[in-house]
Amino acid sequence: MSIRPLPSKLQEKAEKELNEDTNRINEDLEHIEEWLKKQPHLNVRKDPQFLISFLRCSKFSLQRTKEKLDFFYTMKTLTPEFFMNKDPFNKEIKEILDNA
């Protein structure tokens, strides 16, 4: 599986703060891919680079990764308008960003 390598400082941080183990990444990704095959209701991107982002934001907890993927795609189905028109120069979005 091809995943863009992190610069050494970020890799060190990922190992310390996110429990990332480079020896386990392929195994974790395979586990997530197998789980996704059993989730026909989820139309998920399955490229390793995309999935690793969910693993990282879940601190490599497989259960938490599954929950986040399920939630993300459920919300994307229920509220597609939230995931569309993300142009930061769009007048309405710019107004929201300026007020944040």
Number of domains in the chain: 1
Instruction: Look at residue 2 and tell me if it is in a domain.
Output: no
Instruction: Look at residue 49 and tell me if it is in a domain.
Output: yes
DSSP string, 21-54: -TTTHHHHHHHHHHHHHT-TT------HHHHHHH
Instruction: Look at residue 3 and tell me if it is in a domain.
Output: no
- pTM for the predicted model, two decimal places: 0.81
Task: Give CA–CA dist 47/57, Å, rounded.
Answer: 16
Instruction: Look at residue 83 and tell me if it is in a domain.
Output: yes
- In this predicted model, what pLDDT tens digit does every residue of 4-48 receive, in sequence order? 999 999 999 999 999 999 999 999 999 999 999 999 988 899 999
